[in-house]
Structure 1
Amino acid sequence: MCRNIHQLHNFDPPATSAEVHAAALQYVRKVAGTTKPSKANQEAFDRAVAEVAHATHHLLEALTTSAPPKNREVEAERARERSAKRFANA
């Protein structure tokens, strides 16, 4: 599950709200141990996702770096290459 949480800091263009929400959703799913909560837990689950996304937005706004922003396409290609190497041996 957590492999779907990607680094969001220091990219050009910056992380979108959808990317932040997706990372928050994956985090809450991992912590809760479920990908789909029961009806009884849906409200708490959704609230947790919203709170984690909100905190993540604040974190990303507050972080500073002197490194140049990363290119999304280049980083995606590197990830594909790592994945191909990892699963080629499987």
Structure 2
Amino acid sequence: MCRNIRTLFNFEPPATELEIRDASLQFVRKLSGFNVPSQANAAAFDQAVDEVAAVARRLMASLVTHAPPKNREAEAAKARALSARRFGN
């Protein structure tokens, strides 16, 4: 499940709100063990996703680096090549 959480910092273009929300959702799913929470847990689950997303936004805004931003397409191509070598796809 956590394999779907991607690095979001230091990319050009910067991470979108949707990417931050998706990573937060995956994190809360992993912690809770729920892919889809029950109605009884839905409010707590959604609140946790919102709070994790807010913390992630604050974290990325406060981080500094001297490295040049990475290119999303180039990084995706590297990941596909690694996957092909690893799994023979």
TM-score bin, normalised by smaller chain: over 0.9
Distance in structure 2 (CA, Å) of the matches to 1:51 and 1:17: 13
CA drift of 1:65 comes to 0.1
Which residue of structure 2 lines up, in the alignment, with residue 36 of structure 1? 36
CA drift of 1:3 comes to 0.5
1:10 to 2:10 alignment? yes
CA drift of 1:83 comes to 1.1
Distance in structure 2 (CA, Å) of the matches to 1:10 and 1:47: 27
For these two proteins, the number of residue pairs brought into alignment is 89
TM-score when normalising by structure 2: 0.97
Which residue of structure 1 lines up, in the alignment, with residue 62 of structure 2? 62
Aligned-residue RMSD, C-alpha: 1.0
Which residue of structure 1 lines up, in the alignment, with residue 85 of structure 2? 85
SS in 2 for 1:25: helix
Distance in structure 1 (CA, Å) of the matches to 2:7 and 2:46: 22
CA drift of 1:87 comes to 1.1
Percent pairwise identity: 57
Distance in structure 2 (CA, Å) of the matches to 1:3 and 1:80: 14
Structure 2 residues without counterparts, runs of 5 or longer: none
Structure 1 residues without counterparts, runs of 5 or longer: none
Distance in structure 2 (CA, Å) of the matches to 1:38 and 1:59: 30
